[in-house]
Amino acid sequence: MEHQRTEPFTAEDMKDQLRSVLDATAGVYNIERIFKALIQRHGVQDLDEMNTHDFWTVVGQNIE
């Protein structure tokens, strides 16, 4: 049985997801800049529900 979230998904949840994904990915990233760009494009959204291509495009534009 899949655990269902009872609290609303927040911007801080999204930032935590972003850190987890990028910590597991080679490279140096500006997490704040990526986070702001993702919020501008998609609003607060679970990264698992975001279009993968869009996500990695934003990340790629913010590699340091």
**Span 4-61, pLDDT tens digits:** 667 889 999 999 999 999 988 888 889 999 999 999 999 999 999 999 999 999 999 9
Give the pLDDT score at 1.
Answer: 44
CB atoms within 10 A of CB 33: 13
- Please name which of 14, 23, 7 lies closest in space to residue 46, comparing C-alpha atoms: 14
Give the pLDDT score at 62.
Answer: 84
pTM, whole model, 2 decimals?
A: 0.81
CA gyration radius, the chain: 12
Q: Which residue has the tokens 């998904």?
A: 9
DSSP symbol at 61 = T
**Sequence-ordered list of residues with C-beta below 8 angstroms from that of 55, at least 6 positions apart, any chain:** 38, 47
Give the pLDDT score at 2.
Answer: 52
